[in-house]
Amino acid sequence: MPEWQKVIDKSLSLVRVGGKIVIMDWYMEELNLWGRFIDLIGNADVTRPTWEYLKSRKEVKDFNLNHSFKNGGVFVASGYKV
């Protein structure tokens, strides 16, 4: 997804104040064989920490990050819109 920041921005614009936004994505600090495969089939970039963009948004509070899925390869990030 080449314009993933715009996707998060648009999603935030659709969330009501007090509503929760959740994103789930792949992330790997080092691109291994499995990461290359995910990048290939998903036309993605698993080395970009997309949760950092969500966390940086002023309208997101009570940010939470969970890396416990797929041995840390998949994360879930969430927060509430204020």
Which domain does 19 fall in, by range?
A: 4-81
pLDDT band at 69 (very low <50, low <70, confident <90, very high): confident
pLDDT band at 1 (very low <50, low <70, confident <90, very high): low
CA distance 20 to 62: 10
| Cross-strand pairs, 23 | 77
Name the pTM for this structure.
0.81
6-37 core/surface letters (b: 16 or more CB in 10 A; e: else): eebeeebeebeeeeebebebbbbeeeeeebee
Q: How many domains does the chain have?
A: 1
